Chain A
């Protein structure tokens, strides 16, 4: 999903930068507030950022015969809500742009928009929706991470198709082309990311119950239990 340095025309690069900037500013504010109000969450924040670091460095082979990497943004979005994940994702993208020549500074806005904004929000939205319908936690986590990953690559395809419409078939033709490169390749990787996120969430449930309850990941369950208890008492 990394659009390489200089590979977006200046107007597009600026536009995506402008679109991403408010999310990053808002994210930095949410992050500083979180750290100030709950200093104990710093460790888990670090772990969420670390998860993105690991997953976005893992280039895995896929069914299309090419390689791509997961994003790791679903976990942080589910734990700390998307605004904070925007910051963690942006840090990862900056690291890759500056040290690995992977992505770039001129395309940072576009890459932040796909990986650190749309991905986390899409994943978080489906996670919340599934939880509302009482879908088991781990199933909701799987689909949250899956969608955070896949939607990121769909956005990248749209961004490139907007910048480089096909001379004969236009935007849709280019979207098909970039989509087959990114989105199709990404489907099995998104499954992998979903499974790995479930694994980490399982480890967190074992090791950090208190923290997950404070963040609301485990709260829903307890609430419904106390609700049924009060109902039983009322009867």
Chain B
């Protein structure tokens, strides 16, 4: 494995560790509902500060259940990951194609050079 790949994997491992550690260490245990979204917590805080506040507009479309919402979030992540994978795949393919083309050109040139040398050798 190249050094580059190792560093990349290390980066991913640290990110994974940062995500798993709060769960593993039980950092949400002091809460009634551990690991709720910060956005939802902010809504609760708003109603604590201003108990009379009523949201004056509601979403045009609301996923009918938590599962559908998760599905849509997964769709969002999948769309993004797909485009990223396409980008890097395309770049890699292009680079390999260019390298191969260069090799072929290089090979052809040296072949031409060799035949030219041969012909001069024959003449002399």
Contacts and interface: CB of A to CB of B under 8 A. Distances in A.
Could you say which interface size class chain A belongs to? 35 or more
Interface stretch (A2-10, A25-33, A125-133): A2-10
Given A95-B76, A195-B15, A181 B27 contact: no
Contacts of A104: 57, 59
A65 B30 contact: yes
A63 B83 CA distance: 31
Interface of B: 4, 7-8, 11-12, 14-15, 18-19, 22-23, 27-31, 34-39, 41-43, 45-46, 49-50, 53, 55-63, 69, 72-74, 76-77, 79-84, 87-88, 90-92, 95
Given A61-B28, A101-B63, A207 B88 contact: yes
B42 A206 contact: no
A167 B74 CA distance: 40
B32 to A, nearest CB: 10
A53 B76 contact: yes
Count chain A CB atoms within 10 A of each CB in B4, B8, B57, B61 and give the residue with the most.
B57
Contacts of A200: 84
A84 B84 CA distance: 18
Interface string A105-135: 1100000000000000000000000000000
Contact of A182 (B15, B22, B42, B91): B42
Contacts of A96: 76
A36 interface: no
Contacts of A52: 80
Interface string A152-164: 0000100010001
A57 B73 contact: yes
In the complex, which of the residues B29, B61, B84 has the most CB atoms of chain A within 10 Å of its own CB atom? B84
Contacts of A53: 76-77, 79-80, 83
Contacts of A65: 22, 27-31, 34-35
Nearest to B17: A192
Contacts of A207: 88, 91-92, 95
B27 to A, nearest CB: 5
B80 A51 contact: yes
A54 B22 contact: no
A167 B49 contact: yes
B14 A177 contact: no
A72 B77 CA distance: 12
Contacts of B79: 50, 53
